[in-house]
Structure 1
Amino acid sequence: MASPATTSAPSSASERQPVHPVDELLPPPKLLAYGLQHVAAMYAGVVAPPLIVGTAVGLRGAELTLLIGAALLTSGLATLLQTLGVWRIGARLPFVNGISFAGVAPMLAIAKQAHPGQALPTVYGAVLVAGAAAFLAAPWFCKLNRFFPPVVSGTVITLIGLSLLPVAANWAQGGTPGAHGYGSVGNLGLAGFTLAAVLVLNRWLTGFLASIAVLLGLVLGTLVAIPLGRTDFSALGSVPVFAVPSPFHFGAPVFAVGAVISMLIVMLVSMTESTADMLALGEIVERPADERTIEGGLRADGAATVLAAVLNGFAASAFAQNIGLIALTRVRSRYVVAVSGVILVLLGLFPVGGALISVVPQPVLGGAGLALFGTVAASGVRTLARADLGSNGNLLTVAVSLGLGVLPIASPTIWDAFPPLVRTVLDSGISAGCLSAIVLNLFFNHLPGRAAERTLRSGA
């Protein structure tokens, strides 16, 4: 019979094995606080697409509330699928999924061209096919991982941050161009106060409080906004306490060829962005995303998109702003993000809770967003530092790709003369810059003769 010391040795060795921060299960109070912080960072981005599309197709009152609730519910389910995973579905990283903004313009075009009364069913038919295609294509699309060396991934991460800065600027001005007070000194001052609060809290707080500095900054900004009359509590009294979206609430899906093609292109763009986001997140949490991780993440995007189409949501994709939050707080546990997914599900089922979070004024979100999104761009610069920018090819790859990615930000109408299918790609600075970086990296570094040339130069 083995001695007690002998039998207990393997267990002790197992207990000494370090747990990667991504797999660390934090105490419940911290999980809840960090999870709320993620929800606060992404909430406006989740509700904006259904609000825009729903208003465009004529939804009002309870129907519009249902559409927004479905977006929150499906975003939460998608986030749970990404973080916890089922079989080979899910990246199992602190990866937040939400409603892809890339699909808004194409969905508006689909709704405009659909037969009367079939706008949303036509949209959902296209979203359903696009999600299934993404799920099936994931094993092949993930092999693009080898085309994302630091010169490519660093460029894309930088573009993700730069592309999000206009969102923060719009929030800081008030969120709705043309509305009363948009761009006023009061709105910008409130955004500036929130940004200053986040910076001061990061400077002086330590430990757990420092890691939720963004959430605390949002609370302080909202408290300051109340006496200034910049918060609106009216929504709290006009939404139902509990609501469950019924499958295909707006009618059975309609499959129109043009609509399906348009959404397939949107899904291709979303998969490209999700791949870049997973690579960025892998660098930040120090668990590089390999092909299997990317395959699982893309499968989750596809599966969540199919589910969203059934439950009256829209295409699911990565939320880059939450990557910035992880980079800023250094809280890398995927269970934190899973808790944010649970919160989103509850907000979808209890619309009154979502209305409470929506009380946070847009300028307050804008102040915090400037820090979050800027952190993403800074992470990209850090990745580019590992690339050989002494090579003219790499330098031109970064220069041209950043230029193409920033063009839609600097001149939003630059591609308006092109066909809609082309604009779907070019109007997304992240997608345009990502494709440019991949192609130019192949051109400069993978054509026959280039490897030998580099070897000769290094030997000299």
Structure 2
Amino acid sequence: MSTSTSSTTDVVRPEDEKLPVGSAFFFGLQHILAMYAGVVSPPLIIGAAAGLSGTEIATLVTAALFVSGLGTLLQSLGLPFVGSKLPLVQGVSFAAVGTMTAAATDTAIGDPHARLAVIFGAVIVAGVFGFVIAPLFAQLVRYFPPVVTGCVITVIGLSLFPVALRWIRGNATIRVNGELVDNPNYAAGWALALGAVTLFVTLAVARFGRGLFARMAVMVGLVVGTGIATVMGKVNWGAVGTGPVFQLPQPFFFGAPQFRIGVIISMCIVILVIMAETTADLLAVGEILGTDVDRKRIADGLRADMGATAIAPIFNGFPISAFAQNVGMVAMTGIKSRFVVAAGGGILVVLGLLPVLGRVMNAIPQPVLGGAGIVLFGSVAASGIRTLSRVTFTNSNVLIVATSIGVGIIPITVPEIYLHMPDWLHKIFESGISACAIFAVVLNLLFNHLGSGAPAAAGGGSEGAAH
């Protein structure tokens, strides 16, 4: 006897695929290796700017790992109305570094701990603000057809390339005993060689490897690169044994949060930029997975971002956002399961509780990370180009793509061009991703929705949101 449900077939979304525990762990670890440097860099920068001691900076780094893990679990596994349930890794956002550095160096606020307390207060308020407006912000998804999302995703990838190259090149100056001195390894030949070896090993494994081994190409590249760097004497393994092995995060280590209206307003502007970038990442990973990302899912994803941001300062953490480099990891490996990313989130939480493991991962030389980053970040740009391939390139759409991508790479190539703009406007346009998104949305409305240009958009200029 048949029932009404016998003909119904449950459709499993690609992101809901479940892998064996061992595979999920190693693929999750690969995600963390790819984004580790990006997570620890903001607390290192802010801590140094505020004049914190080495131990205090280490507390910020551990906190960054811990809250990034919590945010990743929230985003990938989800709660009712919170979390996109997509394979997105969350980490401390670079977008807020400028605003936080300004507060961290403002001696009028008080001592270093007081400056951190002001930053944390602003982050809490901005996170709550973003959480509340998430549903309204998600309504913008209708203005993100393929001609818009393709531009934004491409610029996400392009904007990340300088990060990988700076990891290889290094900084011109380094801090030694609290003072800035010239970096003797700046643009060193050995660093370029390490980056190149990591890149070539990653490509070789991806091309000639089979099955699980091929999909772990980035991890293999990082392991081989670090091994070669160890032989060259470029890895400081001695630092691994210093400090505690296990340490629980201490809430409000730097004191109760303080609230200053000027810093709060600046942080709220930054939060809007972070939300625009996260929306682009949500759409990008949806394109890669071939899964539906509608307004509700974007709102849920933004709430996870903003909820984690509001909670982060309790554990001495900074604003959280989706990491575009891990979108590239999904594209390159073809591993679409959100449970893999959740495993990575669990690893981040453990790293936040076990500083000794964090010190092991911190020993990976940045040139090695840079070599792997070229592949990862390029994969993001390639995903954007693939999205643009669906667009009918009328004259209007050519102008949208040309102008939006052009504006998006301005702060990447000439970052000082916006130096003398009003601060609130500078905060928006110093991010090539948000600048590209603004121009792409406005130009798409102008050319494909208003006036005689609207009918020409049928091939991909003004259709619904990208999936």
TM bucket, shorter chain? over 0.9
Equivalent position to 1:406, from 404, 409, 412: 409
Q: Does structure 1 retain, via aligned residues, the 8 Å contact 2:195–2:371?
A: yes
Per-residue deviation, residues 420-449 of structure 1 (Å, max 9, x unmatched): 221111111111111111111111111144
Match runs of 1:8-407 below 5 Å:
17=10, 19-113=12-106, 114-117=108-111, 118-174=114-170, 178-389=182-393, 391-407=394-410
What is the SS of the residue equivalent to 2:198? helix
- Select between 244-253 and 353-362 the one with higher mean Cα deviation: 244-253
Per-residue deviation, residues 171-210 of structure 1 (Å, max 9, x unmatched): 1123665522121111101100010000110111111111
- Select between 197-206 and 238-247 the one with higher mean Cα deviation: 238-247
Relative distance call for 1:245 and 1:398 in structure 2 (3 A) is: same
Q: 1:60 deviation in Å? A: 1.5
Q: Does structure 1 retain, via aligned residues, the 8 Å contact 2:89–2:323?
A: yes
What one-letter code is carried by the residue in structure 2 that aligns with 1:421? W
What one-letter code is carried by the residue in structure 2 that aligns with 1:402? I
What is the SS of the residue equivalent to 2:321? strand
Q: 1:288 deviation in Å? A: 2.6
Match runs of 1:438-457 below 5 Å:
438-451=441-454
Tell me the equivalent position of 1:458: none
Q: 1:254 deviation in Å? A: 1.0
What one-letter code is carried by the residue in structure 2 that aligns with 1:450? G
Per-residue deviation, residues 302-358 of structure 1 (Å, max 9, x unmatched): 100011021110001110000001000000000000000000000001111100011
Q: 1:111 deviation in Å? A: 2.4
Please give the TM-score of this superposition, normalised by the length of structure 2. 0.92
Aligned residues: 447
Q: Does structure 2 retain, via aligned residues, the 8 Å contact 1:275–1:294?
A: yes
What one-letter code is carried by the residue in structure 1 that aligns with 2:453? R
CA distance in 2, matches of 1:120, 1:453: 52
What is the SS of the residue equivalent to 1:445? helix
Relative distance call for 1:172 and 1:454 in structure 2 (3 A) is: closer
Q: Does structure 2 retain, via aligned residues, the 8 Å contact 1:83–1:90?
A: yes
What is the SS of the residue equivalent to 1:414? helix
Cα RMSD over matched residues?
Answer: 1.8
What one-letter code is carried by the residue in structure 2 that aligns with 1:163? S
Percent of aligned pairs sharing the same letter: 50
What is the SS of the residue equivalent to 2:204? helix
Equivalent position to 1:427, from 422, 427, 430: 430
CA distance in 1, matches of 2:456, 2:367: 53
What one-letter code is carried by the residue in structure 2 that aligns with 1:248? F
Please give the TM-score of this superposition, normalised by the length of structure 1. 0.94
Runs of 5+ unmatched residues, structure 2: 174-181, 459-467
Q: 1:65 deviation in Å? A: 1.0
CA distance in 1, matches of 2:171, 2:70: 27
What one-letter code is carried by the residue in structure 1 that aligns with 2:110? P
Equivalent position to 2:421, from 418, 421, 443: 418
Q: 1:21 deviation in Å? A: 2.5
CA distance in 2, matches of 1:374, 1:443: 30
What is the SS of the residue equivalent to 2:121? helix
Q: Does structure 2 retain, via aligned residues, the 8 Å contact 1:174–1:181?
A: yes
Q: Does structure 2 retain, via aligned residues, the 8 Å contact 1:65–1:239?
A: no
Q: Does structure 2 retain, via aligned residues, the 8 Å contact 1:170–1:176?
A: no
Q: Does structure 2 retain, via aligned residues, the 8 Å contact 1:157–1:280?
A: yes
